[in-house]
Structure 1
Amino acid sequence: MRVPFHRLRPIMATAALLGAALAPTVPPAAAAAGSPIQVYGAWHCGDDACIWGTVRDMAEFDAKNHWLIDRGDGRPSVNLAILSFVHPLKLLVGTNDATTVDGVPRGINQAVVDWFKSRGVRVMLSIGGITYTDAWDQALAQNPALLGQKAAALATRLGVGIEIDYEQNTNPNLAGLQAFVDAYRAVHPYDATGADPAARLTIDTAAGDRWLIDINRYATANWLRTDTPVLDYANAMVPARQPSAAGATDNWQEHLDGKPTYSPPVLPLAPAKFTGGLYIAEGSKVRPECTDFANSLQKATGGWLQNAAPNGAGTTSGLLGYMFWAAERPSTRGVTTQPPNGCAGGVGAGATAYAIPVPMPALRQG
């Protein structure tokens, strides 16, 4: 089945290790006066380590996840939930098995989607994850255009967006991925207003520019441009372990700067075209990012995130926002973000501190 800790990344560069040992040097949230945070979301793994293999009783689901739609005052803690993961090959061939119906995990259904949407929380489905890297390769080799059409049909049926989480670090099938994107966009064209939930199409990249290099390079050059956008934005995922504040911003700065010395180079990414990822549950630990906003990285890095300047791409300062890994049970042997309070004291308090808009507004385009 799944290996524990799905988001553990096989990258811990020397600079990141050194940065983790240093005291944070980024300005606190209170000093932030830049672009408002627009994306403030959580990946959600269900109760079985991201399989979503059973239909949930919605009363039980609410009891374990209520913090996501109520930070304690009736307002949601997030404005986006990404249900993770859909198996790409099963989606392509329409698998029916113990955990899957017509290629879709049994637990990812209209009832769960509507539970979020009825409170103004946008919903997306993540296709892939590191456990399903080989399945992405197989599906893209078999029929990438049909996979894009199947993803678009699923998005239409549930009224959700789609996230591409293809974590192939070595020789990714970029031609196949392009065919997937083309097929999806033929059904759901890019929509700058954000009004059509199914038109929201995003991609995951590494925390910085030194892993998933080929995917990051291609997406930045071809899909994440501000003049001719194809994908809405990227998520810079969590690194191998929770970074320091300085380590997190160093990673995100790599996307802003690009890698001009690489051959071919990685172009700079506009601040308005990506989010930064942080852990709320990691291994056996519930992080301050879940329970204690005053001591959290979303507070410590907030000033930097809202004021990060363009460095060759884009015209406005500030990343789009934060994504948190991951709600409920991201690992079979790890902790959960369940009651009594879930992550209302961290993520929810941050939503209040940053005046996170619910529902999510139209996103900055440049």
Structure 2
Amino acid sequence: MRRLVLLVFLLIPFLAAPARAAAAPIQVYGSWHCGDDACIWGTVRDIGEFDSKNHWLVDRGDGRPSVNLVVLSFVHPVKLLHRTTDAQTLDGVPRGMTADIVSYFKSRGIRVMLSIGGITYTDAWDSALAENAAQFGRNAAEVAQRLGVGIEIDYEENTGPNLVGLQAFIDAYRAVLPYDPSGANPAARLTIDLAAGDRWLIDIGRKATADWLRADRPVLDYANAMVPARQPSTSGAIDNWQEHIDGKPQYSPAFPPLAPAKFTGGLYIAEGSKVRPECANFSTSLQNSTGTFVQTAAPKGAGTSSGLLGYMFWAAERPSTRGVTTAPPNSCEGGVGGGATAYAIPIPMPALRQS
């Protein structure tokens, strides 16, 4: 009897220990790309010159790409609605976002998307949605089909966003390009950017989480939790992302939880004047120190599978007129590329987890 009691006593810690979630493979591992003019993309690039500044994206040092997604940032909302042609824009699209640039990435198995908006174009989003949100959505779908790219919604109106107009934009886009769970049609991929956590862009985040990012009836493919004002600590990044998973039931109306499989976490690779470990050194980077959380974060009321979809990095080449760029000698093979190797990032991107 004593032996039985002793055996049970010894087994208690193991019986009481909670099951550890299996690590989900990282599926999205991408970078926003600002071109060489702080996200304007206002001039056509020579492919040789472009490659000299961006080769790390397509070659981590062993011939394999460092990422499986590049998001060209940004398209001006009103110019897209009006299909404007001017010195920096051709038929509503920045002149630098050419078929050749898209092919540069796609020919290496890297998915390409165009981002509409950004913080600089918040007022332009408001104007385009107020003028003709449905036509705006149809124009976005036409560009996506013509270039063979997806579209990212980056509408950063923190106070009083036009959610009716945004719904009309999404409905019009989806009328042309329905949601495709297989991911086979690049143009059918439609995503949205949310704040780093749940305390900014609250109205957009609540609406997107409740109506467009549900695992049981998806409208948008996924969301990106954007970078905060400055690079966070490991715990700060995890806290932000956990907010999306938990939701904010104390808000009125409540902010619902988001399935981990419906969003990525954003980190800086170019910020200020310093080359960050996230660009240069995977072993000391946040994509390394947060990796366990990103691969095992459990759902808290939405979704059924553990783990975020992956990471997005802000931003390749020159995201601001001042500060560091990711062009040589600051290219990111050692950080982003090192992470692609460590996490065995699939290239091309596979069909994404849905729940």
Range moving further from structure 2, 284-293 or 71-80: 284-293
Could you say what secondary structure the match of 1:143 adopts? helix
**How many angstroms apart in 2 are the aligned matches of 1:211 and 1:203?**
14
Structure 1 counterpart of 2:188: 199
**How many angstroms apart in 2 are the aligned matches of 1:352 and 1:341?**
19
Is 1:303 aligned to residue 310 of structure 2? Answer: no
Are the counterparts in 2 of residues 45 and 330 from structure 1 also a CA contact under 8 Å? yes
Structure 2 counterpart of 1:96: 85
**How many angstroms apart in 1 are the aligned matches of 2:201 and 2:275?**
27
Deviation of 1:98 (Å): 1.0
Matches of residues 1-366 of structure 1 in structure 2 within 5 Å?
Answer: 34-340=23-329, 342-366=331-355
Structure 1 counterpart of 2:3: none
Deviation of 1:308 (Å): 0.2
Q: How many residues align?
A: 336
Could you say what secondary structure the match of 2:31 adopts? strand
Deviation of 1:79 (Å): 0.1
Deviation of 1:286 (Å): 1.8
Deviations 1:251-291, CA, capped at 9 Å, x for gaps: 00000000000000000000000000000000212210000
Q: Which amino acid in structure 2 is aligned with residue 34 of structure 1?
A: A
Range moving further from structure 2, 168-177 or 338-347: 338-347
Deviations 1:213-237, CA, capped at 9 Å, x for gaps: 0000000000000000000000000
Deviations 1:84-107, CA, capped at 9 Å, x for gaps: 000000000111111111111000
Are the counterparts in 2 of residues 32 and 304 from structure 1 also a CA contact under 8 Å? no
Q: 4+ residue stretches of structure 1 with deviation over 6 A?
A: none
Q: Which amino acid in structure 1 is aligned with residue 277 of structure 2?
A: P
Could you say what secondary structure the match of 1:62 adopts? helix
Q: Which amino acid in structure 2 is aligned with residue 246 of structure 1?
A: S
**How many angstroms apart in 1 are the aligned matches of 2:277 and 2:270?**
9
- Bigger RCO of structures 1 and 2 (CA < 8 A, at least 6 apart): 1
Could you say what secondary structure the match of 1:149 adopts? helix
Deviations 1:89-128, CA, capped at 9 Å, x for gaps: 0000111111111111000010000000000000000000
- TM-score under structure 2 normalisation? 0.94
Q: Which amino acid in structure 1 is aligned with residue 283 of structure 2?
A: A
Structure 2 counterpart of 1:28: none
Q: Which amino acid in structure 2 is aligned with residue 304 of structure 1?
A: F
Where in structure 1 are there 5+ consecutive unaligned residues? 1-30
Aligned Cα root-mean-square deviation (Å): 1.0
Are the counterparts in 1 of residues 34 and 74 from structure 2 also a CA contact under 8 Å? yes
**How many angstroms apart in 2 are the aligned matches of 1:345 and 1:74?**
14
**How many angstroms apart in 2 are the aligned matches of 1:83 and 1:94?**
18
Q: Which amino acid in structure 1 is aligned with residue 216 of structure 2?
A: D
Could you say what secondary structure the match of 2:312 adopts? strand
Are the counterparts in 1 of residues 21 and 298 from structure 2 also a CA contact under 8 Å? no
**How many angstroms apart in 2 are the aligned matches of 1:219 and 1:334?**
33
Find the structure with the greater CA-based Rg. Answer: 2
Deviation of 1:340 (Å): 3.3
Are the counterparts in 2 of residues 32 and 302 from structure 1 also a CA contact under 8 Å? no
Q: Which amino acid in structure 1 is aligned with residue 231 of structure 2?
A: Q
Q: Which amino acid in structure 2 is aligned with residue 230 of structure 1?
A: V
Deviations 1:184-236, CA, capped at 9 Å, x for gaps: 00000000000000000000000000000000000000000000000000000
Instruction: Calculate percent identity across the aligned residue pairs.
Output: 78
Deviation of 1:159 (Å): 0.0
Are the counterparts in 2 of residues 64 and 338 from structure 1 also a CA contact under 8 Å? yes
**How many angstroms apart in 2 are the aligned matches of 1:315 and 1:295?**
31
**How many angstroms apart in 2 are the aligned matches of 1:277 and 1:322?**
6
**How many angstroms apart in 1 are the aligned matches of 2:243 and 2:276?**
25
Deviations 1:129-166, CA, capped at 9 Å, x for gaps: 00000000000000000000000000000000000000
Deviation of 1:341 (Å): 5.8
Deviations 1:166-197, CA, capped at 9 Å, x for gaps: 00000000000000000000000000000000
**How many angstroms apart in 1 are the aligned matches of 2:161 and 2:282?**
38
**How many angstroms apart in 2 are the aligned matches of 1:341 and 1:265?**
43
